[in-house]
């Protein structure tokens, strides 16, 4: 049984190129999520690595979304290393696919409910079936596969009606960055879900569509290389654009040659 996390006046965050990455570890995040699910209101959680941080350098609106989240957690070793350099010694990676499994494992015992939004045709349903099989007692109350475009008025109304009817505790969003972050920010407070979480590729990984990198590559910050080798046509230019830029900007920040600010805590 998890002890509820008491709200803190000031979040402990690492400043990663102007993106506030919460200085947390997986157990702390789990406590915060289950505590939040018992409160009024709603919020969204961004699971963010180098890709999200670099997209935010080019997109002020995404920067705002990341910094105004309920939590923005470090889904990548480079963000963890930046946090530790800033004195957050206990900060560790909160890997999206593992976070999904951990929340589902606990939910099978507590009765918390889940809704899966995203993926290509059939992925959300397959993901839900696999998780229910893996965690007997898990309650999945809905799935929704969106088109590769913004929802029209009819689709938007259908989604809201389904979520209103099922009122899930955890609403999982499996889109690419920055689509999933924009979706969550636009729908937080509009959909009757307690916590929205953007976990991207975890949908494909746990539905069996793509493979996960070996643990040693994840710990070494080389998961990007594994994914690129398996999906070069889709991912090569993303990493070629983002990784060198992140390294250059991070070096400037660490050496003090360039300063990045975070918005004032509310």
Residue 225 lies in a domain: no
CA 134 to CA 131: how far, in whole Å?
5
Question: Does a structural domain hold residue 48?
Answer: yes
pLDDT at 224: 85
Residue keyed to tokens 């505590």: 35
Please check whether residue 199 lies inside any domain of the structure.
yes
Segment 151-176 mean pLDDT: 94
Q: Residue 112 has what pLDDT?
A: 97
**pLDDT above 50: residue 1:** no
In a domain, 154, yes or no: yes
Ordered alpha helix ranges (H), the chain: 26-36, 50-58, 60-67, 77-85, 96-110, 123-134, 153-166, 179-187, 202-206, 215-219, 223-230, 232-254
pTM: 0.90
Asked if pLDDT for residue 72 goes beyond 70, the answer is: yes
- List helix spans (H) across 176-231: 179-187, 202-206, 215-219, 223-230
The CA distances from residue 150 to 91, 153, 154, 182, 254, in Å, are 36, 10, 11, 11, 39
User: Does residue 244 sit within a domain?
Assistant: no
Task: Provide the pLDDT for residue 210.
Answer: 80
Does residue 249 lie within any of the structural domains?
Answer: no
Bigger pLDDT: 83 vs 208: 83
Domain that holds residue 147: 13-206
Q: Is the pLDDT of residue 255 over 90?
A: yes
For residues 136-166, one letter each, b for 16 or more C-beta atoms within 10 angstroms of the residue's C-beta and e for the rest, the string is eebbbbbbbebeeeebeeeeeeebeebbeeb
Give the chain's mean pLDDT.
91
Residue 187 lies in a domain: yes
Of residues 185 and 206, more confidence is placed in 185
What is the count of structural domains for the chain?
1
Any domain includes 239: no
* For residue 46, pLDDT beyond 60: yes
CB–CB of 47/199 below 8 Å?
yes
């Amino acid at each position: 049984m998890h002890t509820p996390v008491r709200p803190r006046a000031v979040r402990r965050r690492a400043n990663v190129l102007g993106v506030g990455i919460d200085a947390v570890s997986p157990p702390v995040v789990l406590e915060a999520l289950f505590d939040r699910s018992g409160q009024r209101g709603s919020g969204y959680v961004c699971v963010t690595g180098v890709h999200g941080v670099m997209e935010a350098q080019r997109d002020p609106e995404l920067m705002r979304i990341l910094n105004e989240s309920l939590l923005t957690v470090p889904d990548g070793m480079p963000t963890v290393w930046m946090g530790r350099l800033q004195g957050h010694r206990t900060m560790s990676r909160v890997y999206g696919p593992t976070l999904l499994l951990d929340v589902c494992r606990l939910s099978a015992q507590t009765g918390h409910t889940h809704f899966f939004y995203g993926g290509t045709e059939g992925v959300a349903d397959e993901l839900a079936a696999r998780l229910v099989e893996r965690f007997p007692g898990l309650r999945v109350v809905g799935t929704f596969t969106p088109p590769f475009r913004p929802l029209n008025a009819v689709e938007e109304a259908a989604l809201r009606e389904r979520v209103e009817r099922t009122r899930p505790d955890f609403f999982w969003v499996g889109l690419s960055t920055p689509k999933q972050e924009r979706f969550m920010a636009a729908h937080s407070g509009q959909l009757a879900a307690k916590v929205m979480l953007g976990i991207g590729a975890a949908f494909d990984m746990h539905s069996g569509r793509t493979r996960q990198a070996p643990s040693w590559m994840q710990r070494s910050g080389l998961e990007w290389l594994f994914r690129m080798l398996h999906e070069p046509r889709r991912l090569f230019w993303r990493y070629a654009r983002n990784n060198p830029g992140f390294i250059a900007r991070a070096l400037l920040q660490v050496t003090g040659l360039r300063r990045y600010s975070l918005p004032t805590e509310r």
